[in-house]
Amino acid sequence: MNTEYLKDHLEKVKQDNQKRIDHLTAQIEARKGKGLEFADLEKELAQVKTTATRSEALAERRLADAEKAAQERADAENAKRTSKAAEIDAKRKQSALRVWIAQGGDPKEFENAWTGIRAELLKSAVVQGTADREKRTTIVGTSL
């Protein structure tokens, strides 16, 4: 379930429980003030408090479970993205190594040069991505 829904639900459960407790407490005080018997209301109040504690604990557990599941999904998605990025980076590195060797570069020197090459590739990808986005925006914004 949606964690926001469960947070709202928990808050409503707490408010409802407090209203019930307050109502019974007020009834007990009213009976006390009139000198009437109130043992039955005290027993009911004890039951309501027990039920309130249990219902709030259940709502809190459901919220905690939902938050844990959401965090696990987010962690899995981040791990997937990280893995994909590492895979893409490895492919880029292999491709760059092939070009390096094809152009007469020494494979042993490539590792030292890779950091700079990688930075240049990232810069180029950012510039190209920005240009592509601007181009799409321009085409969409104009009538053909």
The dihedral sign for the CA sequence 87, 89, 93, 95? positive
CA 46 to chain centre: 38
Q: What is the pLDDT of residue 105?
A: 93
Residue 5 has which token pair?
A: 């829904």
**What count of other Cβ atoms lies within 10 Å of the Cβ of residue 44?**
15
Query: What is the rounded distance in angstroms from the CA atom of residue 100 to the CA atom of residue 102?
Result: 6
Q: What is the pLDDT of residues 63-92, one digit of tens each?
A: 999 999 999 999 999 999 999 999 999 999
Are the C-beta atoms of 38 and 28 separated by less than 8 Å? yes
pTM of the model: 0.64
pLDDT tens sequence across 96-143: 999 999 999 999 999 999 999 999 988 998 988 887 777 777 766 655
